[in-house]
Amino acid sequence: MSDDLAIVAEKLDALDELAPRRAEFVLDDVVYLDGNSLGALPAAVPGRVADVVRRQWGELRIRSWEESGWWTAPERIGDRIAPLVGAAPGQIVVGDSTSVNVFKALVGAVRMAGEGRDEVLVDATTFPTDGYIAESAARMTGRTLRPVAPADVPDALGERTAAVLLNHVDYRTGRLHDLPGLTAAVREAGAIAVWDLCHSAGALPVGLDEHGVDLAVGCTYKYLNGGPGSPAYLYVRRELQDRFDSPLPGWNSHAEPFGMRGEYEAAPGALRGRVGTPDILSMLALEAALEVWDGVSVEAVRTKSLALTDFFLQCVAAYVPQGRVECVTPLPHEERGSQIALRCADAGDVMKRLIERGVVGDFRAPDVLRFGFTPLYVGFADVERAARVLGETLA
């Protein structure tokens, strides 16, 4: 059976139009299935960062704010990310962390919704930091916070709803939530939808403009391969930009940032999402990393992602002793992100043993093995090997 699946993997890799992209990353013989936590290093980044440090900072110094384009980096890099999430230019700025951008977006959403709406809904299965931020934002704005499962959001909406914070993909299970349908329901109720795209951007089509999403945030160090702690981004739909009232009105988002005026006047457009001085080193590393997307369609990435996860499940079924693991990721393609989560009683110890054998995924307490599939550099032979090693480890 292993020989048969290895042959299938070889044939699939030979037909893979994205296979050449693997050479654009720094990789070794490890099967790396943790790109949904930290993407691999694009090969162009070290040289670019060296130039930023040695020439732009070391030689040009303060002149680089203008001559090297440092000042415009947040919106310029935002426009590089825009097509990957289905947005037209001029709606995304890069900077700060995901948590900070969730705070900006959620408070901004509540302010746009108006005083008559006193309830905020939050994804009950959300990544913890989103929940923490939502609780604080609700408390600070005098709203009530109500956790709701994404599937139950339409029934929970009402005249009291100000804003709804949702994850596009569940970080534990890999479940893909219905962004078009839920966004439409939120807007129909007169509320503001805020989407966290951390586990979908760079892995599948998002369609922010197409589906009328109001506000969105996301990190860049997972499927976008921006590096550890690389800056996050904030999307504000063009029609809402004049109404977006950021709770963090820093000098970088001022209409005249160098006017040093005592009173605040918000800059036009998406620039309102900026706060303080941009983190240039990590931001320009991200800009270099995004070059691996040149000439790549998100639709092709999605097609390969589904093929990889399907093949992984096929290999797991063939190699892993029956009853040893349970897949908690939905099987229908329309409900699946770009990861597979397997429930396993001794998952923490199993993942340690997998890593020792050169298969890197991650563990989520209490009992989940999580495997992320980054189509730009993961191949079908990687998938077959990972499932085979998992089967041998659990035998």
Q: What is the pLDDT of residue 57?
A: 98
CA neighbor of 240 nearest in space, from 143, 363, 111, 135: 111
**CB within 8 Å of 378: residues ≥ 6 apart:** 31, 32, 33, 35, 308
Do the strands 144-148 and 339-343 form a parallel or antiparallel pair, or are they unpaired?
Answer: unpaired
Q: Which two tokens stand for residue 181?
A: 């349908």
Number of neighbours of residue 337 by Cβ within 10 angstroms:
28
Contact indicator for 285, 355 with CB cutoff of 8 Å? no
Residues marked active site are found at 127, 196, 221-222, 370
Q: What is the pLDDT of residue 1?
A: 64
Determine if the pTM surpasses 0.85: yes
Q: Which pLDDT tens digit goes with each residue over 24-68? A: 999 999 999 999 999 999 999 999 999 999 999 999 999 999 999
- Containing H/E element for 148? strand 144-148
Q: What is the pLDDT of residue 3?
A: 78
Q: What is the pLDDT of residue 2?
A: 67
Segments of the chain scoring below 70 in pLDDT: 1-2
Residues recorded for the chain: 395
